[in-house]
A = this chain, B = another copy of it.
Amino acid sequence: MNVGIVGATGYGGAELIRLINHHPYATVSAVYSTTQDGAALSESYPHMLDMNSLVLQAFDAKHAGATCDVVFLATPPGVSSKLSPSLLAENVKVIDLSGDLRLKNPDDYEVWYKKKPADESLLSEAVYGLTEWTGEAVKKARLIANPGCYPTAVLLGLLPLLKAGLIEPDSLLIDAKSGTSGAGRSASAIAHFPEMNDNFKIYKVNQHQHTPEIEQMLSTVTDKLTPITFSTHLVPMTRGIMATMYGKLTVGTQAEDLRAAYEQSYHSAPFVRLRPEGQFPSTKEVYGSNFCDIGFTLDQRTNRVTIVSVIDNLVKGAAGQAIHNLNVLAGFEETAGLQMVPVYP
């Protein structure tokens, strides 16, 4: 299977190339970049020297149609809503890593992204690719909206418990922490090394654009959801997200109910690993891999559950999940190209 990548010089694009390099059935046949047309990919990323001979070119839908079965869009906000239709018209399937096609309600997009939303027909066709939960729809999709990094960690941790009615939907509180690669490759003041090093920051308080994405998906398993509190912090590390999540237990909920709910949801999910109760993953324990590791514990004093979910934001939170979706869509085994052991330490 031949795949193309638009936005190959960003971190999401580079990670796709790394992962597909290990994939048994997929090959990168085209890499597109508006800014570096004609340059070898290894000029942008010397770590790929001698590993491929990919040359960046300006995006062209016809070219993609001729050379690719599937195209990944690893582009900034506002781009994929424009490129997707042209690719679909060429009979190319699209897996979009941006946030453009995730929100069904265009007003939400406008409010949280401060940009013009995609056409409703596009939004309505796009399948939200949280593979463990929407895999059946992914199989038949032409257009996949790959989930955001935070929502991936959060939703995998919360959906089983909410679906089973074990926590109160109006009590949810999510305190999330991310490495800095989530902010992308462009140099910025917030990720300037001298100021991010040995530092810990909170940002976009109550304003993160992943908030409605989380709420939209949580609402598919409960009709009692109220607006969630979702905070995001920057950790002086490169990769990794930890979402620490809290909820009031519904009456009568026991630890074994929580475990049972997770096991029911994920018994055949190859990338979700549940820790024994009272043990918690650290972000490095999934570094470079497609795992989402989940730990939880009940607090008798407060009747709250604490859930900890960790992912590598560039893999399970972006490129790895996109390839997982590719595998499902193409009928490959789910784990094709994604069985890497985390790089630890």
Contacts and interface: CB of A to CB of B under 8 A. Distances in A.
A281 interface: yes
Contact of A47 (B17, B179, B301, B344): B344
A235 B235 contact: yes
B282 A200 contact: yes
A191 B187 contact: yes
A1 interface: no
B193 A180 contact: yes
A288 interface: yes
B177 A200 contact: yes
A275 B344 CA distance: 28
Nearest to A237: B198
Interface stretch (A134-142, A255-263, A302-310): A302-310
Contacts of A340: 22
Contacts of A244: 175, 202, 231, 233
B242 A202 contact: yes
A46 interface: yes
Given A18-B343, A246-B173, A239 B198 contact: yes
Contact of A11 (B240, B278, B345): B345
A55 interface: no
Contacts of A50: 273
Interface string A143-184: 000000000000000000000000000000101010111010
Nearest to A271: B50
Contacts of A238: 193-194, 197-198, 345
Interface stretch (A61-69, A98-106, A116-124, A222-230): A222-230
A272 to B, nearest CB: 10
B180 A197 contact: yes
A112 to B, nearest CB: 11
A251 interface: no
A267 interface: no
Contact of A46 (B233, B239, B275): B275
B236 A236 contact: yes
Interface of A: 11, 14, 17-18, 21-22, 45-51, 173, 175, 177, 179-181, 183, 185-189, 191-203, 205-206, 226-229, 231, 233, 235-240, 242, 244, 246, 273, 275, 278-289, 293, 297, 299, 301-302, 304, 306, 308, 339-345
Given A51-B341, A177-B200, A185-B195, 15 more contacts: A46-B293, A47-B284, A48-B342, A186-B192, A193-B236, A193-B238, A198-B240, A201-B283, A226-B302, A227-B299, A227-B302, A228-B302, A229-B299, A236-B237, A343-B343
13 contacts: A17-B341, A177-B233, A179-B194, A179-B198, A180-B197, A183-B194, A185-B194, A186-B192, A191-B194, A193-B238, A200-B235, A200-B283, A229-B306
